[in-house]
Amino acid sequence: MRKREEILHTGEIEAQKRFSAEDPWSEISLNQMFGMAIPIGLEDFLEAQKFFFIATADNAGNCDCSFRGRETDVNGKPLPAVKVLDGTHIVFPDFSGNNLFNSLGNVLVNPHIGMLFIDFERIMRYRLNGKADIIDDATLYRHLWSTAQRYILVTVDQVYGNCKARIPLMSEKD
């Protein structure tokens, strides 16, 4: 079993001490909550999402948050936004955009990445944190994303379900 200090960083531990009247999480609960790999069954949830958000930061800690949505193939069939390769690796495409390369530029100098997946219809969300690598070979996952310019491979460090509070119930018609 991992110790609290192996799961939470010093700022999180300090915030819990400072802002919570009591210790909100036992080490057993933290170990159950924070996985180091994508559990069986969660891959279906991740691959079914129409979009997700990524958070990156440069080497000075300046943050960027970006929306990533899926595209459709030539027949209008939706393509996956992400593909789970195994329990510790997930990949997603990089399509043409505004050519600022905020996220990719950050990954080049600081590989840490946060990913947030929200399903507004089922009121669920999951977070995935890890390290990103840019795959320049545009043919590697061409069978999944024919118009991608490159791919981002994420090695999972941490994955966990997130609180459902304040997620609005929405459907595609909303």
Query: Of 138, 129, 154, 115, nearest to 12 (Cα)?
Result: 129
Total structural domains in the chain?
2
Is residue 82 a part of any domain in this protein? yes
Compare 174 and 140 and report the one with higher pLDDT: 140
Which tens digits make up the pLDDT trace of 107-158? 999 999 999 999 999 999 999 999 999 999 999 999 999 999 999 999 999 9
Q: What is the pLDDT of residues 14-41, one digit of tens each?
A: 998 899 867 778 899 999 999 999 999 9
For residue 164, which amino acid is it?
K
Domain that holds residue 6: 1-34
Shared domain check, 46 and 27:
no
Locate 174 and state its tokens.
């909303």
Are 73 and 113 found together in one domain?
yes
pLDDT at 1: 92
Instruction: Say yes or no to pLDDT of 174 above 60.
Output: no
Output the DSSP codes for 60-96. T--EEEEEEE--B-TTSPBPPS-EEEETTEEEEEE--
Q: Is 138 helix (H, G, I), strand (E, B) or coil?
A: coil
Higher pLDDT, 60 or 168: 60
Q: How many CB atoms lie within 10 A of CB 173?
A: 4
Provide the pLDDT confidence category of residue 48 given band limits of 50, 70 and 90: very high
Contacts of 60 (CB under 8 A, 6+ apart): none
In a domain? residue 117: yes
Same domain? 91 vs 108: yes
Q: Looking at residue 23, what is its pLDDT?
A: 73
57 & 74 share domain: yes
CA 150/CA 167 separation, integer angstroms: 32
The predicted pLDDT at position 165 comes to 85
**Same domain for 50 and 18?**
no
Do residues 112 and 68 share a domain? yes
The CATH number linked to 50 is 2.30.110.10
Looking at the structure, do residues 58 and 124 belong to the same domain, yes or no?
yes
Same domain, 69 and 146: yes
User: What is the phi/psi pair of residue 10, to 5°?
Assistant: -60, -35
Could you tell me if residue 64 is inside a domain? yes
pLDDT of residue 99: 83
Please, where are the H alpha helices in the chain?
A: 4-7, 10-19, 27-33, 42-48, 102-109
**95 and 110 part of one domain:** yes
61 shares a domain with 1:
no
The pTM (predicted TM-score) of the whole model is 0.92
Greater pLDDT, 173 or 45 = 45
What pLDDT shows up at residue 51? 96
| 87 and 111 together in one domain | yes
